Amino acid sequence: MRAARNIAVAAATLLLGGAQCATAAGKLPDGRSDGVRIVREGGRMAVVFDKRASAAYRQIAGRTVTISCVKGLGGSYFDISGSRGSSDRVRAARTRRPLRTRDLARGADFCRVALPERRGRDGRTTVPAEPVAAIPLTERGTIHLDEQAKAIAVYVLLEEAVDNDGGRSPSHFLPAPRLFELLRRDDDAWASIELTELASPDDTPPAGALGYYSDGGRHAAAVVRSTNGRRLYHELGPDLAISSNVLGYVFSIDDGMS
């Protein structure tokens, strides 16, 4: 379970960086993100990794990847129910080269590069799809990727906060200081995320921070602001009642990655 959570946090961190750059700059996306860009020409497209994205390319060198593009996002940015996607599988060269395929990006809101779901080394377990790059192509796609990344971080933070004392059902949520200490000690993926304690579940953290509230019992909440100021939250009450506006994003994380 922790491995899956680590992948989710890594995905959130990756998508967060990729989606923020265009929005924070106050301009529409131009088909590039964190050293990865899409070039379209003559009915074909190429995903180009420049020198800044060398580390990302090393993850896929010599391996088969999925390139997928999603268009037609719904009225809500998390709503992909009416969207359409196209994808291809491509084998990446062992040295940094463009990934070439048919023009999946035409009319798309965003594209992803991911390592597809695969069998583990033991032949029995399944390794989930791992995102490598996310490239926004429209303003709607930029907002979708930004909010999805932050929604995943909110959801995973609350999962990590559960202390079940070795049992199967949650007994309580860790207090903020203890949770933050454990996350920073045990998981490097949280190092780039600013964590802050909230005084109540209705509070909102400063821009760029991920907020957490716990009463030390069975009531906790995680909150973040999207780049365009929307409050994203996931709250669990004493009776396990859920109040959340992030679940649509969380359960569409595999859109086009498999």
For residue 165, what are the contacts with CB-CB under 8 A and spacing of at least 6?
A: 171
Q: Are residues 102 and 63 in the same domain?
A: yes
- The domain total for the chain is 2
Q: Are residues 116 and 180 in the same domain?
A: no
Task: Round to whole Å and give the CA distance between 257 and 113.
Answer: 7
Report pLDDT for 238.
81
Of 145, 178, 199, the domain-final residue: 145
Q: What pTM was estimated for this model as a whole?
A: 0.79
Q: Is 42 among the domain residues?
A: yes
Token pair 């998981």 in the structure block, residue:
187
Q: Are residues 98 and 168 in the same domain?
A: no
Q: Are residues 23 and 81 in the same domain?
A: yes
Contacts of 213-217 with C-beta under 8 Å, sequence gap 24+, read: 213/176, 214/161, 214/173, 214/174, 214/175, 214/176, 214/179, 215/173, 216/172, 216/173, 216/175, 217/172, 217/173
Q: Is 256 among the domain residues?
A: no
Output the tens digit of pLDDT for each of the chain's 258 residues: 344 454 455 455 444 444 433 333 334 455 556 789 999 988 999 999 999 999 999 999 999 999 999 987 765 544 444 457 789 999 999 999 999 999 999 999 999 999 988 887 887 888 788 889 999 998 888 888 888 888 988 999 998 998 865 544 557 899 999 999 998 887 777 877 889 999 999 999 999 899 999 999 989 999 999 988 999 999 998 877 899 999 988 877 555 555
Domain of 24, in residue numbers: 2-145
